Structure 1
Amino acid sequence: MTRWSFLLLPVLLATCILMPSAIYAAGTLRAGAYAQDISPTKFPSAVNGSMKGGFAQAITDPMHARCVAIHDGAVEIILCVVDACMIPQDICDKAKEIASKRTGVPAGQIMISATHTHSAAALGPAFQSDPDMDYVATVPALIAEGLIKAHENLEPAEIAWGFGSDPSQVFNRRWRVKEQEQYENPFSVTTDRAWMNPGAQNPKVSVPAGPVDPDVGILAVRSAEDKRPLALLANYSLHYVGGNPAISADYFAAFAHEMAGRLKATDTRYQGKPAFVGIMSNGTSGDINNINFASPIRLKRQPGEQIKNVARSVADAAMGAYDNLKWSPTTMLGTSETVLQLGVRKADAAGLAQARQILETVPKDKDGQWADRKAIYARETVKLADYPDKVPVKLQAYRIGDLSIATIPCETFVEIGLDLKKSTPFTRHFTVSLANGYNGYLPTPEQHKLGGYETWRARSSYLEVDASTKIAEKLKSMLAELKAK
């Protein structure tokens, strides 16, 4: 050994330790996954999902941050879906910062989204529900740990994507109010022409106010060596199901468990190797739920029964796509991220004064919270008055071979997702909602004109009326740039 080689040996050894990718040939596709438990450990625990703040006394099924990392030999992305109603941007940013420092993956190549289960521990304020800030302080590091372990689990892999369809579980929950009928909203207005969840066969409504998206998109990775399933990320435009006592990860977790069983991912042959991770992301479901209001009867279900029914149904569609996948040992990854500054809808001076008067005159319930909807929305009006005039809205676009993925930090209306699917320059597309932050509902301008719950001004719906148009236009340009590279 020469003097110079002796001196360089420690440097080479350190490089091998810090850069494990150096042992793989350029262009080698690798993937890894991990599901990190992020459940609270102290109870009662605040829960989002209702206009009144609720509290969970125990865990029905735990909250996870389900992560999959994919490396094409040059670019690495990490996609993470968290069992939460929504995730504020600061939690996402902190988790990404921690993970980026540990993995070297740029924060802009990491996605963190919420499933939108309405029975998880609160991570941010919603209506009269405020989170336990001691718990919230622990969450960024927990999510980051999932991202880091997915990265550490990278191994030579094959990748594939496909689409199934399940129209049986999605219904547009906004119905058109008949011309001669009306109802009063929380702002004493009776001109709304859309009614969310109007009840079974309500004679005041006629037809759904929008379409549905039955697609079940899947992105799957498996080991190149033994072909064992590593992870499957699905996307379905269904708001949530409900019916389990909190804390529960809803049908999103039930789907993950269902897919693990169907893919035989728990086979004893795979013991000692990283566990398979099933992931269900929320598509563009801002106006979609699991209830058919055209039906005269809504069957009563046992706790968790409908969650399992939906999980099995969607898994059927996912497996139909999985059985026809064409696996590849290579792919091309691309990413893009931008932040739009969008306007905030606030009350004028008269509206703000009226809201404060309502809060002074309407009494609270024994639990210290308002039950009256006018008071609840008056409180939201006052809260929004403290918002800046514009807020940052973070958007991402991903290229995975001929598949494109867009992310939006909102409860996105289905029309927007369908438009992006139609306009993508790639072969197929899906959109992940509630990603990298939370900016409330995202109706189209046309749906804003119809009114209804999702348009009512609150911290759950506050972006400017043209926000969806600006977001869609920007995402289309981002996808076009990724295609051109």
Structure 2
Amino acid sequence: MKYIKSKTYATGFLHAFCLGASLLIVSDAWAQTKVFRAGAAISNITPRIGSSINGSMQDITITGIHDETRAGALVLDDGTTRLVIVVSDLCMVSREILDAAKQRAQSVTKIPVERMMMSATHTHSAGTACSVFQSDPDADYTKFLTERIADAVIRANNNLAPARIGWGVGHESSQVFNRRWRMKPGAAMPNPFGTEDKVKMNPGVGNPDLLEPAGPIDPEIPVISVQTPEGRPVALLANYSLHYVGGTGKGEVSADYYGMFAERMQQLLHSDGPVPAGPGPDFVAMMSNGTSGNINNIDFGGEKPKPAQPYEKMRAVANVVAAEAYKVYQTIEYRDWISLDARQTEISLGVRKPDAQALKRATDIVASAKGPNMVSREEIYARETTLIKEYPDQVAIILQAFRLGDLAITAIPCEVFVEIGLELKERSPFKPTFTISLANGYNGYLPTPEHHRLGGYETWRARSSYLEVDASPKITKTLYDLLSKLKAAQP
């Protein structure tokens, strides 16, 4: 009996051991068969000649097309989760348009809208997709945009195929400058509301009253690259904390340096030699806008630049930034598979509405204006004051955090000050982390409370700047919470 018991025990142990070993083998085989997929596509979103350009305090009619504007889409799939990133050549785009585009894309692809991150580049020479200052989007272009942005997602999803992914971070400080300056004591800095500011935006190159920039810069250029398993480029997504460059022909549509960056990356990646053979859609490059709310391309503390021809400056910027992105691209180590995750939430923020005294002053200025269009700064901001009066006391905004392996992307629907982006990078549990601004809607500038106290253009109450003074710390806290949740759930 003793022998029988021992034999039974040994046999059971052997069966358990074999079962465990089999499970390990199956588990290893499953891990080895995990497939990462990606797809990319482009939609043309160029507005028609005769419609309005968004990006000026005065309405500008489109008279020509210098280069087409696009909506680029990237879909990533780890086998369980699919994420969508769309970057459109627009100055800004309303939440209503993007919500409708997401719903249409979801109805076809079945990707939840919470896993779609859609942003504008902030070119100031594109079609009007948001009501700011004199320009309002027309119904035809709104419908067109909704369909074309959704089409980009649907086509990218249709293009899903096995892929590998990698990333790196470059640095290019020569093209970014803080545009808000502290001035010498006694320098006049009036604002449109009858008071004085403590800093000046775009004070002029060589201004004798310049003291020092009122903030830092962010020179980083994060680069995400997607290839087929054979090495054929599929997509590249970069991010740079630089406002538009400008310098277009009169009334001409252009994607600014964002579009020229994409064009240059196309040239550089295909100059490496023959692209590995294989069927598939064309390569898609995208430049997203980082935290550039107080950053532009003008070195106010330097020498006056020589006059430039239209498009000359933006192409020069695109070439410099693309050269650095290409250096990063050449060093990227690719992964055959990464896990993906996303978090989204909606928060309510207060609106800085005018008091009775400010409203009366604004109403008087508008009433005394000579024509239907407001021309002077005082008239323009007086009209904005009367419009903000009709806004709700609270507005809801979408905040997102995406995780791609060990990389994180946060999304904010504002023109975000660079200090906010730098803080998110510093506090994030993921390295690298970067922020895409003007994402999932448009809610104006996002200065820090400290910058609100300094005043300046970006803080002037208007449809381009109306969120409560404490909006940025509330947004930063929320995004950090989302990043922490992503970290806790990371496999």
- TM-score, normalization: structure 2? 0.91
Partner of 1:63: 69
Query: Structure 1 residue runs of 4+, over 4 Å off?
Result: 265-272
Q: How far apart, CA to CA, are the structure 1 residues paired with 2:198 and 2:305?
A: 24
Partner of 1:338: 345
3-state SS in 1 of match to 2:222: strand
Partner of 1:229: 233
Give runs of aligned pairs for residues 161-176 of structure 1, distance below 5 A: 161-176=167-182
Matched, 1:318 2:312: no
Matched, 1:276 2:280: no
Q: Could you say what the CA RMSD is over the residues aligned between the two structures, in angstroms?
A: 1.5
Matched, 1:436 2:440: yes
Partner of 1:406: 410
Partner of 1:384: 388
Give runs of aligned pairs for residues 35-184 of structure 1, distance below 5 A: 35-40=42-47, 42-184=48-190
Kindly provide the CA deviation profile for residues 23-51 of structure 1, in whole angstroms up to 9, marking residues without a partner as x.
x99631000100110112x3212011111
Give runs of aligned pairs for residues 280-295 of structure 1, distance below 5 A: 280-295=287-302
- Tell me by how many angstroms 1:64 deviates: 0.6
Q: How far apart, CA to CA, are the structure 2 residues paired with 1:133 and 1:373?
A: 28
- Tell me by how many angstroms 1:163 deviates: 0.3
Given candidates 372, 377, 397, the residue that maps to 1:373 is: 377
Matched, 1:210 2:215: yes
- Tell me by how many angstroms 1:201 deviates: 2.0
Kindly provide the CA deviation profile for residues 250-270 of structure 1, in whole angstroms up to 9, marking residues without a partner as x.
010100011111111896765
- Tell me by how many angstroms 1:217 deviates: 0.4
3-state SS in 2 of match to 1:169: coil
Q: How far apart, CA to CA, are the structure 2 residues paired with 1:199 and 1:268?
A: 46
Given candidates 397, 422, 429, the residue that maps to 1:393 is: 397
- Tell me by how many angstroms 1:183 deviates: 1.9
- Tell me by how many angstroms 1:391 deviates: 0.3
Kindly provide the CA deviation profile for residues 120-150 of structure 1, in whole angstroms up to 9, marking residues without a partner as x.
0111111112222221122111100000101
5+ unaligned residues in a row in structure 1: which ranges?
1-23
- Tell me by how many angstroms 1:96 deviates: 0.4
Partner of 1:196: 201
Partner of 2:15: none
- Tell me by how many angstroms 1:273 deviates: 2.2
Q: How far apart, CA to CA, are the structure 2 residues paired with 1:409 and 1:187?
A: 26
Q: How far apart, CA to CA, are the structure 2 residues paired with 1:227 and 1:171?
A: 36
Q: How far apart, CA to CA, are the structure 1 residues paired with 2:32 and 2:113?
A: 25
Matched, 1:426 2:433: no
> Is the CA contact 2:169–2:221 (under 8 Å) kept in the aligned structure 1?
yes
Q: How far apart, CA to CA, are the structure 2 residues paired with 1:57 and 1:443?
A: 35
- Tell me by how many angstroms 1:202 deviates: 1.4
> Is the CA contact 1:412–1:442 (under 8 Å) kept in the aligned structure 2?
yes
Matched, 1:484 2:491: no
Kindly provide the CA deviation profile for residues 274-302 of structure 1, in whole angstroms up to 9, marking residues without a partner as x.
00000000000000000001123122111
AA aligned opposite 1:220: S
> Is the CA contact 2:92–2:130 (under 8 Å) kept in the aligned structure 1?
yes
5+ unaligned residues in a row in structure 2: which ranges?
1-30
> Is the CA contact 1:409–1:433 (under 8 Å) kept in the aligned structure 2?
yes
AA aligned opposite 1:281: S
> Is the CA contact 1:29–1:329 (under 8 Å) kept in the aligned structure 2?
yes
Matched, 1:31 2:44: no
Q: How far apart, CA to CA, are the structure 2 residues paired with 1:228 and 1:269?
A: 5
Q: Cα gap change, 1:268/1:319 in structure 2, threshold over 3 Å: closer, same or farther?
A: closer
3-state SS in 2 of match to 1:34: strand
Kindly provide the CA deviation profile for residues 174-207 of structure 1, in whole angstroms up to 9, marking residues without a partner as x.
00122332221100112x1110001012122311
**Percent identical across equivalent pairs?**
48
3-state SS in 1 of match to 2:435: strand
- Tell me by how many angstroms 1:387 deviates: 0.6
- Identify which range, 410-419 or 50-59, moves more after superposition: 50-59
3-state SS in 1 of match to 2:388: helix
Q: How far apart, CA to CA, are the structure 2 residues paired with 1:270 and 1:419?
A: 43
- Tell me by how many angstroms 1:469 deviates: 0.4
- Identify which range, 468-477 or 195-204, moves more after superposition: 195-204
Matched, 1:451 2:455: yes
> Is the CA contact 1:182–1:204 (under 8 Å) kept in the aligned structure 2?
no
3-state SS in 2 of match to 1:261: helix
AA aligned opposite 1:256: A
- Identify which range, 247-256 or 55-64, moves more after superposition: 55-64
- Tell me by how many angstroms 1:112 deviates: 0.6
- Tell me by how many angstroms 1:316 deviates: 1.3
Give runs of aligned pairs for residues 236-251 of structure 1, distance below 5 A: 236-245=240-249, 246-251=252-257
Aligned length: 456
Q: How far apart, CA to CA, are the structure 2 residues paired with 1:177 and 1:193?
A: 8
> Is the CA contact 1:47–1:131 (under 8 Å) kept in the aligned structure 2?
no
Q: How far apart, CA to CA, are the structure 2 residues paired with 1:39 and 1:187?
A: 37
> Is the CA contact 2:399–2:479 (under 8 Å) kept in the aligned structure 1?
yes
> Is the CA contact 1:26–1:73 (under 8 Å) kept in the aligned structure 2?
no
- Identify which range, 277-286 or 51-60, moves more after superposition: 51-60
Q: Cα gap change, 1:220/1:268 in structure 2, threshold over 3 Å: closer, same or farther?
A: closer
Q: How far apart, CA to CA, are the structure 2 residues paired with 1:369 and 1:85?
A: 21
- TM-score, normalization: structure 1? 0.92
AA aligned opposite 2:166: A
- Tell me by how many angstroms 1:271 deviates: 7.8
3-state SS in 1 of match to 2:127: coil
> Is the CA contact 1:87–1:123 (under 8 Å) kept in the aligned structure 2?
yes
Matched, 1:301 2:308: yes
Q: How far apart, CA to CA, are the structure 2 residues paired with 1:77 and 1:27?
A: 17
Partner of 2:23: none
